[in-house]
Amino acid sequence: MKSNILGIVFTILSGVLIVMIILAYERSDREEPEFRFSALNLTYDSDTTDNDLIDGINAYDAVDGDLTSRIVVEKVVLNKDAKTAVVYYAVADYSGNVAKQSRVFPADIKSMVVEADELQSTEDMNFPQLSFGEGESSYASSGVSAEANP
């Protein structure tokens, strides 16, 4: 008799708990934030920072309001043929809903190529002995033999 009563009580409590979970889920924030872009006269080059790329973008959420300070630049993809840079943005609201958008900017590819070439020549000057050509070992510059000693 007692076990039947306990079974009925636990069944009722389980039903109440299920109803509470459904209500909490229905009232939760599941809408992702939205981006709002304004015109920005920017050419992407080697001096462009993330802050430069975020200028002119706002993010809003129906529940959390202004989320502009939470915008991040995920990545930048250069298209050398089209001379453009595609910038990918993301923002998350306080409930964990994430929105992602991208924006295309004209890019000054020549300035970035020149800077990359200068960086490569600087690395070559800093490490002139390192050579990993055909038939050479990575230990050649340190005087250590790459051959195994039996």
pLDDT in tens, 67-104: 999 999 999 999 988 899 999 999 999 988 999 999 99
Q: What is the pLDDT of residue 114?
A: 59
- CATH code for 32-127? 2.60.40.10
Tokens representing 84 are 């453009």
Q: Is 31 helix (H, G, I), strand (E, B) or coil?
A: coil
- In the predicted model, is pLDDT for residue 60 greater than 70? yes
| CB neighbours of residue 132 within 10 Å | 9
Tokens representing 80 are 């050398």
Cα–Cα distance, 42 to 46 (Å, whole number): 12
Work out the widest C-alpha separation in the chain, in whole angstroms: 90
Phi, psi of 74 (to 5 degrees): -75, -50
Going by pLDDT thresholds of 50, 70 and 90, the confidence category of residue 7 is confident
pLDDT in tens, 9-38: 999 999 999 999 988 888 877 789 999 999
Which residue, 91, 100, 99, is CA-closest to 69?
91
- In the predicted model, is pLDDT for residue 4 greater than 60? yes
Cβ–Cβ under 8 Å, residues 99 and 105:
no
Phi, psi of 135 (to 5 degrees): 85, 0
- In the predicted model, is pLDDT for residue 142 greater than 80? no
Kindly list the domain boundaries of the chain, sorted by start residue.
32-127
